[in-house]
Amino acid sequence: MNKRKDLGQHFLKSKTIARSIVDSAKITRNDIVLEIGTGHGILIPYVCKNAKQVFSIENDHDLYLAAKSNFHDYSNLVLEYGDGFKSVHSFSIFISNLPYSKSRFAIEWLLQKKVSRAVIMVQKEFAEKLVSNEEHKAISVLANYGFRIKFLMNVRKSNFFPMPKVDSVVMLLEQKKVIQKILILTVNRIFSYRRKTLQNILKQFGVNSTSKKRLDELSGDEIIKIAKKIIRS
């Protein structure tokens, strides 16, 4: 358990919230659901109720074995042990109570997948960063380009064990477009020069510009256009 805590993994214990998370995903009999982080399986009964197929992947072997024992009677459930982010399954809906340490990685991974929507639980501070208009972050530019993002509910830290130091937020991500890895890498690299002017940023990529603007003066869509220009150059 201490290892899981070190990774930023905290287990939801409220069945009411678990049900609300799954309800928000609007799962139908045509949907294939991927859950990364089975944990103690609190979402499984609700996810399996309506889905065509559910893949739930857990990288803690003890938790995986416990889930195999506790949920063996769900005919539409496949439990797997390993790194869910290396999964090759196709899926239409993604659900996860993401470890805090994996939130950014998970968003970038999900942006590259063909998915209808995702319902994720993340640290409140990370959620606010995704939708902040005050200061651009690479992840917020990418997430808002690829998804329509909606806050669903706040979840107080007392609803988890072990109890984290911060509250969480459940978010709905509805896909607008799939993003290629090269665009993600380029936007991240652009932001590594964020204190420079656009002219000096583009110089790092061998692209000419006379613009003295900085990233915070540009919209997310403008930054994406710049990244695409760099990729084409």
Is 198 labelled a binding residue?
no
Helices (H), 7-155: 15-25, 44-50, 61-70, 103-111, 124-131, 138-146
Is 200 labelled a binding residue?
no
Is 83 labelled a binding residue?
yes
Specify the pairing of strand 32-36 against strand 53-58: parallel
Q: How far is CA 196 from CA 2, 129, 142, 177, 215, in A?
A: 42, 21, 20, 29, 8
Is 84 labelled a binding residue?
no
Is 72 labelled a binding residue?
no
Is 31 labelled a binding residue?
no
CB 79 within 8 A of CB 89: no
Report d(CA 189, CA 74) in Å as an integer: 45
Residues of the binding site: 10, 12, 37, 58, 83, 97
Residues of the binding site for S-adenosyl-L-methionine: 10, 12, 37, 58, 83, 97
